[in-house]
Amino acid sequence: MTSRRSTAEIFEKIPTVIFETSSAAAAALAGEVKALVETRQKEGRQVVLGLATGSTPVPFYRELIRLHREEGLSLRNVVTFNLDEYHGLAPTHPESYFRFMREQLFDHVDIPDENIHLPSGLVAVEEIFDHCHAYEEMIDAAGGIDFQILGIGRTGHIGFNEPGSSRDSLTRRITLDRITRQDAAGDFRGEENVPRFAITMGVGTILRARKIVLMAWGEGKAEVVARAVEGVVTEAVSASFLQEHGDARFVIDAPASRELTRIKLPWLTGPVRWSPEETRRAVCWLSSTFKRPVLKLTDEDYNEHGLSDLLSEQGPAYQLNIRIFNQLQHTISGWPGGKPGADDTFRPERAKPYPKRCLIFSPEPQDAVVSIGATIDRLVEQGHEVMVVCMTSGNLRVPDSEADKFASILLEIGETFAEGWGQQAEYARMTLQSLTDKGAVGEDPASLRQLKSLILRGEVRDAAQALGLSHERLRFLDLPFYEKGRYRRFVLGSEDERLVTGLLREFMPHQIYLTGSASDPSSVAALCAKLVEQGLASLQGETWVDACSVWLYRGREKALEPWQIAMAMPISPMQLERKARALARCQSLTSMEQEVTRVNQMTAEQYDGLGLANYEAIESFQRRVVGS
């Protein structure tokens, strides 16, 4: 494909289109497929689509379904070939890609069953070579793939072509990378349950498609997108091979674009409108590049690193450095709720009113304690009215081993103290039997999910208590979308909106702490953030909404960089230890969540490198203006 590229894209080796949201990108892509399908229908020809699985293509599939239902798009002339399937999973398995495609697309449109093709997850090992060869032949017999849809994994894989896959590789069985298995751990109730093998189209198979579009959403994909788009072609990032295709492009949302040079370092790609945010970004980048405090940067440093325009507009370096240093220094505050009686001219949060009503939204029960536990501790200590809202039950993340442990202890108690414990012992036996019946990766019955919810509630209550927060200051919403769904497959409903909006109206907070703004759009965090945003939008005009501060924190996403931070809450060694003790009370945390205190320390080290005060750790926040 030939296209005119702007100078801003000079570092990009493959056309990359950035949309503000994933839904806008999915709608545009679905419209393109619709046009192709309808053109081929007029010609009496079929369209061969290559399809992907996972959370990334879900918005695209939902838009195709909408076009089918509301605009009469027929897909009867479409033939599909899926990229991959876990080896060892039956089609009926809740995490099989066969079932995923049925639930997310095929059961809702009119593609004939005989036109649908997926690799088999149950083919015998000795028959895999022949099965994969036959899959390649079926693609060729259909005339080849006209339009291939791809996602990208954190390892840079397309399909399941993990690092080391060659450019000419064909459909085959592959061993999954550990990062890939970690990313799927939530789907399978633990990394130990994720299949070790998958059958996947090869890189060479994918590159034979006539047109290829790779989609990526959320800041978690930003780094690997940049490596694939701007880096060298390498087997270490199989998506980089798309650079060699004549009609391939990346379609990404704004958060997924943040590591591209034109977004991250725009002064290297052309003229820049030097907003306060871009100026902070540039000065912080220069300081970290030189490993030199902001106040020690010189005119020569700016000129030699593409920042002469900034210097001529806002220099000299001495004045610019002082201004940015002061801005960064003013983000630091040990009073996240505002310091009563103090001059708040340069403080992140206003002094009045005091005390404030602080509403802290935690998508899954443990999220807020993990991410901003020290801030919660400080708000409580400083006398604010704090309410932590656990929006979902979080039961999908509780491993079977925790339920087994609880039921086994309860059974032993019941058998030891037989009198009056009969019902409890029977409940324990029923739970243990349900764990056995469903196996390691079967779907949890409602009773088991309820038990896991209660286990997680207990952990979070215990952790909150360690931070000085009483049980009465925890609210468990148990939003229905979570109880009805599975990871990557959630659908928000009107009852979810009603519950969240009702809570906002009831509490009328002065402060809201929220996460999920940079997450994958299908993640629990992003969906919960969407509910809060919708609730605030519906309440616009009420006096308290206009006066409400909304502070955005990061959960599992990449930590905020100093130039992004509007409030940096410093943590002393004693306070960090207090947070660590609270986290230790949560048995269901992942290894990534357990390392969050190290992330807090790294933020403090970044501030230290800029020449600011040297703290033990920092929890950081972005400011969001209500209605923006």
For the annotated catalytic residues, the residue numbers are: 162
For residues 579 and 380, give the distance between their C-alpha atoms in angstroms, rounded to a whole number.
14
Q: Which residue has the tokens 């503000």?
A: 20
CB atoms within 10 A of CB 440: 12
SS3 at position 469? coil
Phi first, then psi: what are they for 152, rounded to 5°?
-140, 135
Sheet holding 385-390, edge to edge: 474-476, 385-390, 357-362, 511-515, 549-553, 617-624, 567-571
**Contact indicator for 124, 132 with CB cutoff of 8 Å:** no
Phi first, then psi: what are they for 602, rounded to 5°?
-65, -35
CB atoms within 10 A of CB 390: 28
Helices and strands counted in the chain (H then E): 23, 17
- The alpha carbon of 14 is separated from its chain's Cα centroid by a whole number of angstroms, namely 24
CB atoms within 10 A of CB 37: 22
CB atoms within 10 A of CB 381: 11
Please compute Rg for the chain using Cα positions: 26
**Torsion angle (degrees, nearest 10) of CA 186, 188, 192, 195:** -120
**Contact indicator for 397, 364 with CB cutoff of 8 Å:** yes
**Contact indicator for 338, 354 with CB cutoff of 8 Å:** yes
**Contact indicator for 119, 86 with CB cutoff of 8 Å:** no
Please give the C-alpha separations between residue 136 and each of 130, 132, 169, in angstroms, as whole numbers.
10, 6, 12
As a 3-state breakdown, the chain gives helix, strand, coil percent values, each rounded to 5, of 50, 15, 40
For residues 563 and 225, give the distance between their C-alpha atoms in angstroms, rounded to a whole number.
22
Q: H or E segment at 571?
A: strand 567-571
Please give the C-alpha separations between residue 163 and each of 178, 233, 626, in angstroms, as whole numbers.
11, 12, 43
Beta bridge pairs of residue 388: 360, 474
**Contact indicator for 389, 477 with CB cutoff of 8 Å:** yes
From 515, 467, 510, 586, select the one nearest 371 (Cα to Cα). Answer: 515
**Contact indicator for 162, 238 with CB cutoff of 8 Å:** yes
For residues 221 and 557, give the distance between their C-alpha atoms in angstroms, rounded to a whole number.
10
For residues 97 and 91, give the distance between their C-alpha atoms in angstroms, rounded to a whole number.
8
Beta strands in 28-120 (DSSP E): 47-51, 78-82, 84-86, 116-117
Considering Cα of 84, then 90, then 96, then 98, what sign does the dihedral take? positive
Could you tell me the end-to-end alpha-carbon distance of the chain, in angstroms, rounded to an integer?
A: 37
DSSP β-ladder status, 248-253 and 211-216: parallel
* Per-residue tokens: 184: 């799927």
